[in-house]
Structure 1
Amino acid sequence: MDKIRHIAGKVDQLLHMFPAVAVIGPRQCGKSTLVKQLRPDWKYYDLESPDDYQLITDDPIAFFTLNTDKVIIDEAQQYPDLFRVLRSVIDENRKLKGRFLLTGSSSPEIVKGITESLAGRIATVEMWPFKQTERFDQPLPDLYERILSGADGIEAFSDLSTSMTLAHSMQALLQGGFPEPVLESESNDLYQAQWMDNYIANYINRDIRGLFPKLNIHVYRRFLSLLAHHSGHQLNMSSMARALETTVPTIKEYLDIIHQTFLWRNVQPFSNNPLKKVQKSNKGFFRDTGVLHHLLKINQLDALLVHPVAGFSFESFVTEELIRGFQSTMATQLEYSYYRTVDKSEVDFVIEGTFGVIPIEVKLNTVVKRQALRGLEGFISDVKCPYGIVINRGKRVEFLSERVVQIPVQYI
């Protein structure tokens, strides 16, 4: 049975507001399954199917004359002209909502097509591999609405509850969230590694080679392996360029490509603190920790926890879980960043929205020492935040100080 995804309700609401909705994200994260679940009675066309591609591209005007609404078009990036054609189709009856549902993956083309041709006519929703609560059939945690409601103090988190366990969270951390290997691995331990090998090979040999034919595929493959050791870190592009015997502009190009193809997330530094001099280097991480651990050849939790990457991997996992949680809501104007000053005061993750600025520190340990809160409390004081959050492997929600609350990873 297909699992219910947290963004399903959001996509449904947006279909009642806009003529078209696009669900974008990495390959194999469940987009096709979701759109078919949401609108099972709509006509479905897959542009990676030669027959469907020919049907639409041979005469798109004729196709949309016959199919004016209730149409799902999967892998829309395969036909970039589609967005221009859709614009004229939608404008013929601009007030009619919920006509088209598109999906797109692994391509800057879909984002470009949406922004240039369909601005104001389409809502875009980003999808991801399973969030930990989706994997274990749990609802979206209360945490997100508590933050988005703009509650003034940390008392809002005192009665948070969860049906998740720490073991659930650690399993999700190790394996990541791509639906197929997660579900198949329940009956076949060997499946995850085989699937990941094929996924990464297809990503490089099909998506990257097809989208960027002039790219040096061999260097890009080495770049992926190198990047696995930098996930969760500030990025020193000069040292990365030296390691790959290439140039800094090439590294910048690769980082842009891997971010746009949904495998990696670039995180900007938070700079809105006039009291401190802030480091401006970008930071980033693999969006799926299963991909990260496969590239690092880590396939057991015990091996992960003693590996030098453990703390960075846990931070990447928590950060992405939080972003997925917020993206499951109808919240807008959200910004994500990290914070580090030249004197090494830092906060792992900062979220900004209409509710204000909330700093979040991520710790792999189960117990947080008071000394470890200095950077977080300094940020709260400088930026005048209502509170800060520590996410770790603790057993329960606890108030660590007047303005800092501990929320265990199984609650997010």
Structure 2
Amino acid sequence: MYPRKTHQLVQSALESQAAVVLLGPRQVGKTTLALDIASEQPSVYLDLEREADRQVLVEPDLYLDEQAGKLVVLDEVQQIPGLFKTLRGQIDHRRRAGFRTGQFLLLGSASNVLLQQSAESLAGRVRYIEMPPLQLGEVGTDQLNQLWLRGGFPDSFSAEGDQASMDWRLDFLRAYLERDIPALGPRIPAATLRRFWTMLAHVQGGLLNAAALAEGLGVSGQTVGRYLDLLVDLMLVRRLQPWHDNVGKRLVKSPKVYVRDSGIVHALLGIGTIEGLLGHPVVGGSWEGFCIETLLAAAPTGTEPYFYRTTAGAELDLVLRLPDGETWAVEIKRTTAPKVSRGFHIGAEDIQANRRFLVYAGEREVPVSNDIRALPLARAIELLSAH
């Protein structure tokens, strides 16, 4: 089992909150982590996709009253939407009985569904934590290329070979399209959604062009928006918003879109080896998306991510607004030559960035100019983690 940063985050949250909601796509390791935490204390685990476990909660108050003082782990909790009102009453009742923290650990794989269900019922009683796939600091910097190629889903990353990893990811895609997404309710043909997902992979990191996507799929722009919302909600796609502060410039207003796990990008495009990846047109977008997800996983809680682009050509791949108010400008390049474009200099000045970095494929930290440093990805993670 890989040591996960999320493990400490969840443990700390349970020490200060009655309930924690752990979000993340399927197969990312939520259940393994939850069972590990549960094994260290009196606990009970229910998988709400299993009919037998759902039957236990037909009379939820009766069952949960008996579990007072234990950590109750409820997996795939979005399967029983009405449960959140019961949990609110349970938390309040337990507080009066002296059990104030560490009561419920709720796991889910559809973020907006869970947030909407729990926001009103559990307001002030719950903390939300998103669990990303495996990160570079968790597997070791010597595994960077394998992590980039295979992605961070544990079974994919740790497969015996590249082909076994690819087979796992193809099965993962098939399961989502044919079983998991229909179970949430949307009636979308699996072949159509697969084509849409693949189209996003082809333009990894590009500006959202709903009209072009709609034309390619033979559907309306509104339908494309619905498909995109679904994949964002399932934490499989990131919609990176443009920097919106008024800086007196004509800003690009469309979001950029990334398939969040690089291994899924490569599976959708049939890229099975690092050699094949380095020679593929998507290599730049894939590296950019991989670095963005890695940096955001390392950033302090509450960090807001954006990109910046003006119609005049100023551009920043990633802008991070940190909780302390600092703004970091980041350029990402799959190159060993540490140079930044003129557009990066202009963009960093436009937003008055406090710190300016180039994340590149080299192994040393080097100055690019007086106020810009080129960093390996691992060093950039260290700086964000320490902030």
TM-score over 0.5 (shorter chain): yes
SS of corresponding position for 2:241: strand
Task: Give, in whole Å, the separation in 2 of the partners of 1:48 and 1:135.
Answer: 30
Summarize deviations over 1:43-74 as a string: whole Å, max 9, x none: 11111222211111x11111111122421111
Given the alignment, which residue of 338, 343, 346 partners 1:378?
Answer: 346
Task: Give, in whole Å, the separation in 2 of the partners of 1:231 and 1:190.
Answer: 23
Structure-1 residue corresponding to 2:30? 31
Structure-2 residue corresponding to 1:244? 217
Give, as a single letter, the amino acid of the residue that structure 1 aligns with 2:61: I
Deviation for aligned residue 1:275 = 3.0
Task: Give, in whole Å, the separation in 2 of the partners of 1:234 and 1:209.
Answer: 28
1:54 aligns with 2:29: no
Structure-2 residue corresponding to 1:360? 330
Deviation for aligned residue 1:188 = 4.2
Give, as a single letter, the amino acid of the residue that structure 1 aligns with 2:60: P
CA RMSD of superposed structures (Å): 1.5
Compared CA separation, residues 60 and 11, structure 1 to 2 (3 A): same
Give, as a single letter, the amino acid of the residue that structure 1 aligns with 2:343: G
4+ long deviations beyond 6 Å: none
Give, as a single letter, the amino acid of the residue that structure 2 aligns with 1:361: E
TM-score, length-scaled by structure 2: 0.92
Deviation for aligned residue 1:189 = 4.1
Structure-1 residue corresponding to 2:206? 233
Summarize deviations over 1:97-123 as a string: whole Å, max 9, x none: 111111111363222112122121100
1:342 aligns with 2:291: no
Unaligned runs of 5+ in 2: 382-387
Give percent identity, aligned residues only.
Answer: 34
Deviation for aligned residue 1:273 = 4.3
Task: Give, in whole Å, the separation in 2 of the partners of 1:278 and 1:132.
Answer: 33
Structure-1 residue corresponding to 2:157? 182
Give, as a single letter, the amino acid of the residue that structure 1 aligns with 2:155: E
Summarize deviations over 1:311-350 as a string: whole Å, max 9, x none: 0000000000001112xx5x33x21111110112111001
Task: Write out aligned runs for 1:106-145 (5 A).
Answer: 106=110, 108-136=112-140
Structure-2 residue corresponding to 1:260? 233
Task: Give, in whole Å, the separation in 2 of the partners of 1:356 and 1:105.
Answer: 32
Does the 8 Å CA contact 2:362/2:375 hold for their aligned counterparts?
A: yes
Task: Give, in whole Å, the separation in 1 of the partners of 2:165 and 2:105.
Answer: 31
Give, as a single letter, the amino acid of the residue that structure 2 aligns with 1:53: R
Deviation for aligned residue 1:211 = 1.4
Structure-1 residue corresponding to 2:320? 351
Structure-1 residue corresponding to 2:45? 44
1:410 aligns with 2:378: yes
Task: Give, in whole Å, the separation in 2 of the partners of 1:204 and 1:302.
Answer: 29
Deviation for aligned residue 1:234 = 0.7
Give, as a single letter, the amino acid of the residue that structure 1 aligns with 2:369: S
1:211 aligns with 2:184: yes
Structure-2 residue corresponding to 1:159? none
Structure 1 range deviating more: 42-51 or 399-408: 42-51
1:277 aligns with 2:247: no
Unaligned runs of 5+ in 1: 137-163
Structure 1 range deviating more: 213-222 or 243-252: 213-222
Task: Give, in whole Å, the separation in 2 of the partners of 1:77 and 1:398.
Answer: 48
Summarize deviations over 1:382-402 as a string: whole Å, max 9, x none: 222222110001121112112
Aligned length: 373
Task: Write out aligned runs for 1:313-352 (5 A).
Answer: 313-326=286-299, 329=300, 331-332=301-302, 334-352=303-321
Task: Give, in whole Å, the separation in 2 of the partners of 1:75 and 1:397.
Answer: 43
TM-score, length-scaled by structure 1: 0.87
Indicate the structure whose relative CO is greater, using CA pairs within 8 Å and at least 6 residues apart.
1
Does the 8 Å CA contact 2:200/2:257 hold for their aligned counterparts?
A: no
Does the 8 Å CA contact 2:109/2:234 hold for their aligned counterparts?
A: yes
Does the 8 Å CA contact 2:241/2:256 hold for their aligned counterparts?
A: yes
